[in-house]
Amino acid sequence: MLAVACGSDGADDKDGENGGSGAQGINDVEVTSTKSQRLTDISSSSRSEPLSLLPTPFQNQTDYWALQPFVVQGNQLEMQFHNGFDYFTDRNKVAVQAVSTGRVMFVEIFERARDGASQINLAWQSPSGEVVLYTLEPSAGPADDTKIAEQKILAQKMMESMTIQAGDDVRQGEFIGYLHGQDEWAHVHMTVKASNNGPEEWLCPADFITKAKESDLLSKSLIWAEHLYKDSKQPELCNY
């Protein structure tokens, strides 16, 4: 039903054009000092501290109506493979937050090869080594020419809203930009990769969400299953 892809780089430069003298120069020093402190704070974090995720990439946790769960290949329910969580929203514009702390690896506009649909891909690496990836998609599934044209515009708007770029440090709960949607299947696809080295190993996000079982994640995944499977399947958050 849904597709995922990843890439690298980019976001707006927030520094002034004339930095280096006068008030602008002072501001540059303050910004540099603040950023250096953030770099020190995160790099000094213990790598043995386990990864901990917020329940949703949306700042307002009521902004999503359904969740597509994590599903491995050859799972017992015979569901389609899905390497993360999809948080579906019917809102036109939704504020997105970082679910964990980390160092940003890339932020980019990505065009899907199979149909030309556009999305935003971004990722950061946590102090404990796992990589958290987001794909911000205005809709889901195949797109026709009209939808593709609109997605190119929405992807540019999303990119312009991004507050992070490669090399930045991001804090858990920090606002990082907006998802712009076309319909009720607009979503953030969130995945967790074991590391940035070696063979690709996808991890179930629920394993890193504190009190995931007490949240509404499972009930939202059952809403998704009802739409797709008409109550013929009752998935868990992590399906093996």
Beta pairing, strands 66-68 & 70-71 = unpaired
Q: What pLDDT does 57 receive?
A: 98
Burial of 196-207, coded b for 16+ CB within 10 Å and e otherwise, reads eeeeeebbbbbe
Cβ atoms 189, 123 nearer than 8 A: no
One-letter amino acid at 20 equals G
Q: What residue ranges do the domains of the chain occupy?
A: 20-48, 50-239
Radius of gyration, alpha carbons of the chain: 19
**pTM for this predicted structure:** 0.82
Q: What pLDDT does 224 receive?
A: 97
- Please name the helix (run of DSSP H) or strand (run of DSSP E) that holds residue 42, with its range, or none: helix 22-43
**Burial class of residue 172 (count of CB atoms within 10 Å of its CB; 0-12, 13-18, 19+):** middle
**Considering only CA atoms, which of 222, 226, 214 is closest in space to residue 239?**
222
Compute mean pLDDT per 10 residues along the chain, 240 residues long, and list them.
37 33 35 42 60 97 97 95 98 98 98 92 97 98 92 98 98 98 98 93 97 94 94 94
**Considering only CA atoms, which of 187, 164, 176, 190 is closest in space to residue 51?**
190
Q: What pLDDT does 48 receive?
A: 64
Q: What pLDDT does 115 receive?
A: 87
Cβ atoms 85, 67 nearer than 8 A: yes
Cβ atoms 158, 150 nearer than 8 A: no
Q: What pLDDT does 106 receive?
A: 98
Q: What pLDDT does 198 receive?
A: 81
Beta pairing, strands 102-111 & 169-170 = antiparallel
116 Ramachandran zone, left/alpha/beta (phi>0; psi -120 to 50)? left
Q: Please state the φ and ψ torsions of residue 195, each to the nearest 5 degrees.
A: -165, 175
Q: What pLDDT does 37 receive?
A: 46
Q: Please state the φ and ψ torsions of residue 193, each to the nearest 5 degrees.
A: -105, 140
**Considering only CA atoms, which of 179, 142, 174, 6 is closest in space to residue 83?**
6
Q: Let me know if domain 50-239 sits in CATH 3.30.930.10.
A: no
Burial of 104-125, coded b for 16+ CB within 10 Å and e otherwise, reads bbbbbbbebeeeebbbbbbbbb
Q: What pLDDT does 23 receive?
A: 35
